Amino acid sequence: MPYILRPFALSSALLGGVLAFGPLRADTILQYDVSGSFLVSSTTFSFTPGSTLNIDTSTGLAVDADLGLTDGTNIIDFTGVPIINTTIEYLWGGPSTVIGSTCLFGCVLRLEDTAGSGFAGFAGGAITGGALLFHPVGSPPDNFINVPVLTVVGTVPEPGTFALFGFALLAVAVLRSRVGHRRPIP
């Protein structure tokens, strides 16, 4: 006689999985390739190949970045979550090192998109503003010469999706092992 799963046990297991691992939802974190360039003190800085930005498009917040800007000789890196992280503006603080005559007191990179709902629901394309500054003081004015463009390259799986999938596989394995060891009641 096969083991029959009672509806209460099934609904309890599903509810427990959702409460433990969060709701299962479509992947909303998109990874973008970043391109464009800035003019600072008559020197052009362009995003390096492989510069990426991960945005949770359900909230519009940046979740990770690996951005590099180069003048052809020097590279300035901006990584991680921005220090200012809103639905319309991201601002990273860069290194406080001397790179040629730049970044003596720290660099600042600002990317913004004030069109529509900002980065929430952002599908990629040119953004409305950006700046690269070689000092951390004041509000960086736009100084891009080629508008920064974000191009979608894929989704970043959410950890909750993998955890919930793993929980479901474990539950199936446990139930299958129990089915083989049940004896019918005479």
Is 114:129 a contact under the CB 8 Å cutoff?
yes
- C-alpha distances in Å from residue 83, one per residue of 16, 80, 86: 35, 9, 10
Residue among 153, 152, 151, 149 at smallest CA distance from 36: 149
Tokens of 185: 């009641």
Task: Identify the residue whose tokens are 């020197």.
Answer: 43
Q: For the chain, which residues score pLDDT lower than 70?
A: 1-27, 96-105, 135-142, 157-186
Domain segments of the chain: what residues?
Answer: 29-155
| 119-134 b/e (C-beta count within 10 Å ≥ 16 → b) | bbebeeeebebbbbbb
| C-alpha atoms less than 13 angstroms from C-alpha of 81 in its C-beta half-sphere | 8
3-state secondary structure 161-182: HHHHHHHHHHHHHHHHHHHHCC
Q: pTM here?
A: 0.67
Is 38:130 a contact under the CB 8 Å cutoff?
yes
